[in-house]
Structure 1
Amino acid sequence: MSVATPPSRPTRPLAQGEPRRARFRTDVEGLRAIAVLLVMIYHAGVSELSGGFIGVDVFFVVSGFVITTQLLREIESTGRVNLIDFYGRRAKRLLPAAGLVLVVTTVAAWLLTSRVQWQVIGQDILAAAAYVVNWQFAARSVDYLAEDVGPSPVLHFWSLAVEEQFYIIWPLVIIGLLWFLGRGARRADPAGASAAPVPQRRHLAAGLLAVIVVPSLVFAITYTWWRPSEAFFITPTRLWELGAGALVALAAGVLSSWRRRTGALLAWAGLLLVLGSAFLVTSSTPWPGIAAMVPVAGTALVIVGGFSSPDAGPARLLGLRPLVWVGGLSYSLYLWHWPLLRFWEWRFGELSLTEGLIIVAASFLPAWLSYRFVESPIRHARSLRESSRYALSVGLNFTAVSLIAGLVLMQVGSIATAGGQPTGVNWSTSGNPSSGSDEDLRTGEDPDDPDSPDGPDGPDSPDGPGGPDEETPQPLEPPTLASAQDEPFFDAVTPDPLLATEDVPAYYDLECDTTVAGPEVRMCEFGDPDGELVVAVVGDSKVGQWMPALESIAADRGWLIRFYSKSACPFSSATTLIDDEPNTSCVNWSQQVLERLTGPEVPDVVITSALRNKAQDPAGGTTQAALVEGFVDYWSQLAEQGTSVVALSDTPQPMEDPTPYECAADRPDEVAQACTWPSDDGIGSEPLAAAAEQVETASYIDMNRWVCPEGTCVAVYRNVLTYRQGSHITATFAEVLAEPLAVELVPLVEQD
């Protein structure tokens, strides 16, 4: 497919001063070397290079410059852009090596990781092969349910996805702008299209500034301030960086006529900006916001300086043969170093700095082999040079293989055994299970027992004076560790460990939860819509994890539950931290919820919990006392209007590497021995308990003696999988604990 660009005089240049012939820019190749080395050293764990990730920004500017230069040369020599040729060159250059890395990563994941991870890794490989993985990582970055997902072995493909998307749209943008500018010129010239002047480079540059660079930069600054985690990955926040390189390419004619000394000074300044950013920028710097302009401008200045001083200053330094060699290998190095780091972690655990440096150094070997035997032969194959369609086909075939590899891994990882069925076992007053019907899993009563309060002749039967809803649950003794394998609640492990991360409370599907960055307050109602007793469940996911149990209790007792939740946000007036930054969004959300609870949506009781155990104090530090004070502040305001508070303990931290559900999936025959760990009190429990002691109308319930019997946590308790992401219990386990929770909770909620 060939697309002509107006007007019809292809031999006339777009700007005066264009160099007579193209030359190989060794300084640009050296810039690539600097960029990839910064990224590799940063990924190895060298803390001093805290901003090594800016190497990606350098790559973006260089790519924008190189691709735009190629397009301009084609336009100026032929008057058109042959899209098939363009896409064919990109396909044979990039797709084979990427496809090889993705297939190797698939095999490594299958051999080295838990079955639980296969589905997520397969999804990532699939998205990486399709070059849309940056959007997937953006969504995951704000998904609180993805907290157990470790670093993806294809995380580095996010930047390759941005570049591939750029390669697809960029020639179309150039063609569109040239058509628009040419159309305007023809309208202004009465002689018609054949006499219309060719659009000059400065006009095209102005068009790119107006259409791409400025809007993208403004969006990047705004979105980085609003949602920094997402902004880092998505394409619109990065287009201005690629556009900056394109503007340098458009200015080539003017820049090549500058004085050598001027060019050298600019290049030195640019190199200083790039290297300085690598050492001064940190992971907490909002990116790619205003700060990203520094390395982008620095890269542009280095390229600009090289036009007029190709043999002096930084151009000479960057043109040294070792740097040029590394620059030529940079794509392969970028592809290979990150998966190798992950492979090591999968096999041996967390990397030390020495190990990280050794691995990134060792990545030169597979990178060179890939370049020598895959990239280079395909790139320079005569048959592919002569047929762009064939070149495009070869590249897409490599992509197809990697797509299939990711799909197979994902499908194998999603194959779970059938979920267990309830056995009819329920809690008893002795703490040991007793037989009952499937419906009695939560009530703890046997309807066939004539002496049972809910039995046929019991005083609180449906035909009795009060009905079952008014009966207070009887005391229970916490389970013993020995009972963990006795009388299972289900006939197979439930939920299946491969599906643990999907066993979450229903409020997620109902979109009742406000995300970490979300400002809005959402309220959902559960239980009896006509219930006279109103219970507000407020806080982060640590209180939300109990919703399956609370919904069951509410249905039995006739409560109306109003649910208010925001991820990573305790219900407190104190300012907590997230990613070492003040969580102001949480403060605003909590204040809005308090205004509702003391205004139009006054409840009888508030149930809360939290993961955080510290908050900012007036001195600028973070202390537990500050968080306790924040709890007491809000709970006291609720007490003034007659609303009591019940705080539920934070659940203990789980075992790590493997997680409880990974351990249960990989070692099903020895789960009782291999998948246990000592219990702690839960990170957020202590400040909750301390605050409850200071507020007369507040109570504290410690559920951890039920979650972890006798101080020992188990991954599987009576065939119930206990933990999912982080330190959250599964929805199934929460349902099973409904009766013990009711025994503790009902007397406090219904005490009036």
Structure 2
Amino acid sequence: MKKRIDDIELLRGFAVLFVVIHHAADNLFTWSTPGLTRFYSYFGGWFGVDLFFAISGFVIARDLVPRLQQSYGTTHTLNITLAFWVRRAWRILPSAWLWLAIILIASLAFNQSGVFGTFRTNFEASIAGVLQVANIRFAETFMQSEYGTSFVYWSLSLEEQFYLLFPLLILLSRRLLPYLLLALVLIQIFSVRSVMLMSFRTDALALGILLALWTQHSSYLLIKPKILSGHRAGCILMAGSFLCMAALASNQLHIVSIPVGLIALLSALLVWLASYDKNFLCAPGFFKQVMIWLGTRSYAVYLIHIPAFFFTRELWYRLYPEQTVLSDHCFYPFILISAGLILLLSELNYRWVEMPLRNKGAAIARGLVQAEPSARGSTPAANPTRASRT
């Protein structure tokens, strides 16, 4: 199985770009102008998180579900599950904890303007991030009290909670897994979301998993949208989907009472088109390569963009302490400084932290999976009768 799907990375790049643009309001641009107000009134870039969820569910399930379904004994199944958790921990936690530590240091040593908030607030948020309950803290503090600089960690906690339980759900439900996931999707699509329910939304995750399960059936290839190959129709469809999701996520446009469910469905549609890896969404070229590059570093960008925004504001405060009121004259400098920090720090994090430790985790995980067959002196192929019963 090909490990990387370029069109999926393309979508990751767009997803993190929309989230960064969305979070620039108030976190980077602290002033208000008619142009900024109009743009952010009709553009809700938070839908990028749901696109991330759909991508994550698809990528995780296309590898994990077949492995667990083909496991051939209790020990082998446990090893596969443990290997999945180990691989994900080494992939996610080092970068997340590194930037929690950097935020804490910044709140003490680089915070003359107070932009990073208090050390105590960030310490409380860091503990929530380490314990993977940041989504609960986010819901409890939303519009009530300050969360801290690491508020984006709510989505990481939600994913970790889901993937902690997901292998158990696969093993317990077996052939009922698609029906359980479909029920989960339908219940959430038609739910009115409270803040707490928004912090536990898993409909896009479940849709991504259902799509991964579908790829194992012949009907997936039968309806392959070949008509999009080599045409601009796929690019137009992708742009139209982004426009619809941004409108559904806007503050001013009240289109339907279930915008989050529709965003999840549109996200799944784009992941479906990307899953074929046939350039259905965007033709090969320089622009696509840039977005793929951004997609491969999207996790680092997601962790780093808020600290980078605050670093920019703190730096500006130190350089120009007399400018107590910010306005449009800061717009382009703020964009250039924060974008430079995000790209540079994300690349460094990707090369020096994320990839080395991801490879380390993958090596440990391979050892866990391979240890049990070698100890038994057999492989799944050598024991077809038992494998067929699993």
TM-score grouping bracket, smaller chain normalisation:
0.7 to 0.9
Q: Which residue of 2 aligns with 1:442?
A: none
Structure 1 pair 89/102, CA: closer, same or farther in 2 (3 Å)? same
Q: Which residue of 1 aligns with 2:128?
A: 127
Q: Which residue of 2 aligns with 1:75?
A: 68
Q: Do structure 1's residue 160 and structure 2's residue 139 form an aligned pair?
A: no
Q: Which residue of 2 aligns with 1:360?
A: 339
Structure 1 pair 288/110, CA: closer, same or farther in 2 (3 Å)? farther
2:214 equivalent among 240, 251, 256: 251
Q: Do structure 1's residue 57 and structure 2's residue 24 form an aligned pair?
A: no
Number of matched residues?
330
Tell me, in whole angstroms, the C-alpha distance in 2 between the residues paired with 1:297 and 1:124. 31
Deviation of 1:257 after TM superposition, in Å, equals: 2.6
Question: One-letter code of the match for 2:348?
Answer: L
Deviation of 1:125 after TM superposition, in Å, equals: 1.3
CA contact (8 A) 2:203 2:261 kept: no
Which residues in structure 2 correspond to 1:185-200 (within 5 Å)? 199=175
Which residues in structure 2 correspond to 1:275-674 (within 5 Å)? 275-278=243-246, 281-283=249-251, 290-307=258-275, 310-314=277-281, 316=283, 320-346=288-314, 348=317, 352-358=330-336, 359-381=338-360, 384-387=364-367
Deviations 1:185-220 (A, max 9, x none): xxxxxxxxxxxxxx3xxx53122212x2223334xx
Deviation of 1:353 after TM superposition, in Å, equals: 3.2
Normalised by the length of structure 2, the TM-score is 0.75
Tell me, in whole angstroms, the C-alpha distance in 2 between the residues paired with 1:386 and 1:301. 33
CA contact (8 A) 2:83 2:366 kept: no
Question: One-letter code of the match for 1:331?
Answer: Y
Q: Do structure 1's residue 171 and structure 2's residue 160 form an aligned pair?
A: no
Deviation of 1:270 after TM superposition, in Å, equals: 4.9
Question: One-letter code of the match for 1:158?
Answer: W
2:18 equivalent among 38, 44, 49: 38
Tell me, in whole angstroms, the C-alpha distance in 2 between the residues paired with 1:242 and 1:87. 17
2:237 equivalent among 269, 273, 290: 269
CA contact (8 A) 2:54 2:207 kept: yes
CA contact (8 A) 1:177 1:204 kept: yes
Deviation of 1:346 after TM superposition, in Å, equals: 4.6
Question: One-letter code of the match for 1:384?
Answer: I
Deviation of 1:41 after TM superposition, in Å, equals: 1.9
Q: Do structure 1's residue 92 and structure 2's residue 71 form an aligned pair?
A: no
Deviation of 1:280 after TM superposition, in Å, equals: 6.1
Deviation of 1:371 after TM superposition, in Å, equals: 0.9
Find the residue that maps to 2:281 and give its secondary structure: helix
Deviation of 1:172 after TM superposition, in Å, equals: 1.5
Deviations 1:522-547 (A, max 9, x none): xxxxxxxxxxxxxxxxxxxxxxxxxx
Q: Do structure 1's residue 242 and structure 2's residue 205 form an aligned pair?
A: yes
Tell me, in whole angstroms, the C-alpha distance in 1 between the residues paired with 2:305 and 2:264. 24
Deviation of 1:323 after TM superposition, in Å, equals: 1.6
Tell me, in whole angstroms, the C-alpha distance in 1 between the residues paired with 2:160 and 2:261. 22
Flag the structure with higher helix content: 2
Deviation of 1:334 after TM superposition, in Å, equals: 0.6
Structure 1 pair 340/124, CA: closer, same or farther in 2 (3 Å)? same
Structure 1 pair 23/340, CA: closer, same or farther in 2 (3 Å)? closer
Question: One-letter code of the match for 1:38?
Answer: F
Structure 1 pair 285/124, CA: closer, same or farther in 2 (3 Å)? farther
Q: Which residue of 1 aligns with 2:181?
A: 208
Tell me, in whole angstroms, the C-alpha distance in 2 between the residues paired with 1:139 and 1:288. 26
Tell me, in whole angstroms, the C-alpha distance in 2 between the residues paired with 1:263 and 1:251. 20
CA contact (8 A) 2:125 2:150 kept: yes
Structure 1 pair 169/61, CA: closer, same or farther in 2 (3 Å)? same
Deviation of 1:136 after TM superposition, in Å, equals: 0.8
For the aligned residues, what is the CA RMSD? 3.1
Tell me, in whole angstroms, the C-alpha distance in 2 between the residues paired with 1:97 and 1:154. 13
Question: One-letter code of the match for 1:135?
Answer: I
Tell me, in whole angstroms, the C-alpha distance in 2 between the residues paired with 1:286 and 1:123. 35
Tell me, in whole angstroms, the C-alpha distance in 1 between the residues paired with 2:162 and 2:179. 19
Deviation of 1:134 after TM superposition, in Å, equals: 1.4
Find the residue that maps to 1:131 and give its secondary structure: coil
Deviation of 1:261 after TM superposition, in Å, equals: 3.2
CA contact (8 A) 2:59 2:212 kept: yes
CA contact (8 A) 2:46 2:249 kept: no
Q: Larger C-alpha radius of gyration, 1 or 2?
A: 1
CA contact (8 A) 1:263 1:306 kept: no
Q: Do structure 1's residue 141 and structure 2's residue 150 form an aligned pair?
A: no
Tell me, in whole angstroms, the C-alpha distance in 2 between the residues paired with 1:361 and 1:268. 30
Q: Which residue of 1 aligns with 2:386?
A: none
CA contact (8 A) 1:271 1:298 kept: no
Question: One-letter code of the match for 1:163?
Answer: E
Normalised by the length of structure 1, the TM-score is 0.40
Structure 1 pair 312/99, CA: closer, same or farther in 2 (3 Å)? closer
Flag the structure with higher strand content: 1
Tell me, in whole angstroms, the C-alpha distance in 1 between the residues paired with 2:303 and 2:137. 19
Deviation of 1:177 after TM superposition, in Å, equals: 0.9
Structure 1 pair 259/98, CA: closer, same or farther in 2 (3 Å)? closer
Tell me, in whole angstroms, the C-alpha distance in 2 between the residues paired with 1:66 and 1:291. 24
Tell me, in whole angstroms, the C-alpha distance in 1 between the residues paired with 2:248 and 2:275. 28
Find the residue that maps to 2:222 and give its secondary structure: coil
Tell me, in whole angstroms, the C-alpha distance in 2 between the residues paired with 1:56 and 1:288. 20
Structure 1 pair 263/98, CA: closer, same or farther in 2 (3 Å)? same
Tell me, in whole angstroms, the C-alpha distance in 1 between the residues paired with 2:300 and 2:212. 25
Structure 1 pair 57/41, CA: closer, same or farther in 2 (3 Å)? same
Deviation of 1:34 after TM superposition, in Å, equals: 0.4
Gaps of 5+ in 2: 26-35, 318-323, 370-390
Q: Which residue of 1 aligns with 2:100?
A: 102
